[in-house]
A and B are shown apart, each in its own frame.
Chain A
């Protein structure tokens, strides 16, 4: 069925004609999608795409290289703030600013990767947690980052993508769609490709056992820091895009809780799978946006509102999303450790071998 006959077959980006078919369908549907759905849903798709980028980036680190990170909100914040600042203060064109921000994030990822060389599991979690909190604190206190008030994203123009200035503005969600989706698409494909190369195999070897990998000649120093840098690069780009999607950024939105949200995306999608990351990013973003308006759900919303008025506080009602996210994390870890991707694989095998 899925037997690989030689090495070159194994490292193909898409390893069967069927996959190529679905890949082309995906491209076509991504192009026509914004003309078919109303504006709010385009915003939703953009948001999903940004989160997919983060999830893919974090999965490269957590799922493929086996290094846990609780500080990705820090990279996300770096991406967002550096992009906005280098556009307003240095007058860089958007794409250059985005790249600059991503490289700054990658640099911080590299720095954070250095202690990771000597740390495993719990220690690494603590160090990255500290990094995430420290970044938010510094940004919140430093005047250049707008302090507690935050920054407003500057207007985006079509020429402004490549040069500074320009007149034709990109403001509506539909126009942003054609900026965000191609970037997300390219990055996701690049990640899938990367995992099929020497680098990806080195990551996986380090995840499975870093001592064994080192004995086999994998340069763990190089690849561990590289994994951190790549992961931070992805998250930085997502942060830059997020700033323009929301239009306004302030330090309190890049909290420790956001890092856990990112981790939830990865867990729900499935560790060590790009396809899983896409699924995880999409479903969890949908859930976040739904939970923001949990009062408006039929039946359940009314019951919860009544409950909340009787027993809880009314102002704290949106916090219910934290509870649900926490439950999701625990339930996934206990019952479906491979996430949606594991579920997908099992379903596929079940139907392939049906009725046996």
Chain B
């Protein structure tokens, strides 16, 4: 026990809150999205910035590792809508290579091969046109009048999403969950960079209660 009443502690926190210089909150929020914690570091709230950076990026990269680097990709194709990416992109820069890779492979007739051996690239779907040699030959199907391009085999081989799930088993889902949670947590950090901490203050006129997250909270002005 610290021997201080929670009222004093709240007052201390409110005093500290009043002393926080949020600088340019919009820029801080943008930086916080781009690199988790960077917005706080810009505001000279280094301790919190490092805490957010470690927790959020640690969770994101651990998820990416669990998922064999395959769980973060951007795809809005009708056969493969990767909705988890909407959460994953919350970590900013770390998830943006997926957009670059999807953009390279977007052209249905003349797609480019993804960078870095397909890191964060969307899976090839059956029948999809791909640059020749970008997958194992047994998964390729020749296109007669298109030199340099082939098609991902439609029959007789499993599709790439199926292959990934077969190889990674539960780790595909675990990695997806980890990376999604990292992105969502960064939304909290972005909000904190924009508006400062939402310190819990007991509602006026009520007896002081233990801080248990169930009472009324208000953002101090």
Q: Do A and B bind each other?
A: no
- A residues bordering B, Cβ < 8 Å? none
